[in-house]
Amino acid sequence: MSGGVFVLKDAKILVEMKPATFVAEDDFQRLLADFPSLLAGSQIDSSKPRKWILVSREMSIASQQDGAGRWSVDHLFLDQDGIPTLVEVKRQSDTRIRREVVGQMLDYAANGVVYWPVDEIRSRFEASCAATNQDASALLADLVGADGDTESYWQLVKTNPQAGRIRMLFVADMIPPELRRIVEFLNVQMDPAEVLALELRQYEGEGLKTLVPIIYGKTEEAQTRKAPTGPKRQWDEESIFSDMGQRAGSEAVRVGHEIADWIKSHSQVSFGQGARDGSMNATVTQHGVRLDFLSLWSYGKVMLSFGNFSKPPFDAENIRQEWLDRMNAIPGMRLPVDGVSRWPTIPLRELSDGTRLTAFLAEADWLLDKLKTI
């Protein structure tokens, strides 16, 4: 790291700050946990600077359903759009900062999006707030803003990983050229996932400390290829299928129309307000409570809303489990076994076979009949 950083003290004394390193990695990690603004949200998105809440330090990650934590990522943050941000911290003296950390992070991301139910993320956030004597509700309200809705926010935290919207952030006091090149390459190739590196330079002098964050990976090519997160929009059937045709192709549109026809003829219909992704939801209302149980998404997938069944009066474990078993009995269907507590998605192209699609809709009929008896 170069010098050339000065602090003007009391308008009379010029203090030259000398480059310094972090003595211990834990000090580095604690600094980020205490001051999330060091993650340089304005450099990541200058038009809509990122703001953060810390979910947890050392967030454990399993490699199989109901398995013990195999790994732990240094920090898990969420931004104001509900995008999970995985942060891995290494000091420049750690040789793993060159290449090993990349494979490590990809393991975390690939498994975290599968084995982190939104309920667990939410409970870990609340536990972290309690441990530091912070008001979780106040922090969240500040993040989403006066016009935001916290329940809608947690819905985004649920659906963002399903659509691949996560952020991987490598943090070090010096980013080596090898890691920088890998990050820039991955950030161009991965969409909508984002891969960035943050160099947090530290300078000291006369009892003062200066921290200078610099983001790498926001190349012109990456920014051109990635659509920015925009304001909410009200989707309808026409806009969903227009977007689906561009993103998933004509076969997905054909299958999607058949599912949309089923939704319209068998259930109540609601449409999402996602900034990037549109949804058409099959809804049933029982005892004054609305349940979205199946959603058609504009990125070319259909979602089974197992997770919503935890809300009274729809807390019927036997129905959830039987629906999962019946779906997996369809030839070629392999829903994850953790689907009873999550929101698994099925690519529409996997339902392009007429027999499989017919069986899928028959199981949707079965579920709807069951829900109406609750």
What is the Cα–Cα distance from 122 to 141, expressed in whole angstroms? 14
Using the predicted structure, report yes or no on whether residue 98 has a pLDDT greater than 50.
Answer: yes
Segments of 39-188 assigned E as strands: 52-62, 69-79, 84-90, 167-172
pLDDT band at 34 (very low <50, low <70, confident <90, very high): very high
pLDDT band at 171 (very low <50, low <70, confident <90, very high): very high
Quick: pLDDT tens for 111-143: 887 778 888 899 999 999 999 999 998 899 889
Quick: pLDDT tens for 251-272: 999 999 999 999 999 999 999 8
pLDDT band at 231 (very low <50, low <70, confident <90, very high): low
The reported pLDDT for the residue numbered 339 is 41
Chain centre to alpha carbon of residue 88: 16
CA distances from 225 to 165, 192, 237 (A): 14, 9, 26
pLDDT band at 46 (very low <50, low <70, confident <90, very high): confident
Q: Name the pTM for this structure.
A: 0.60
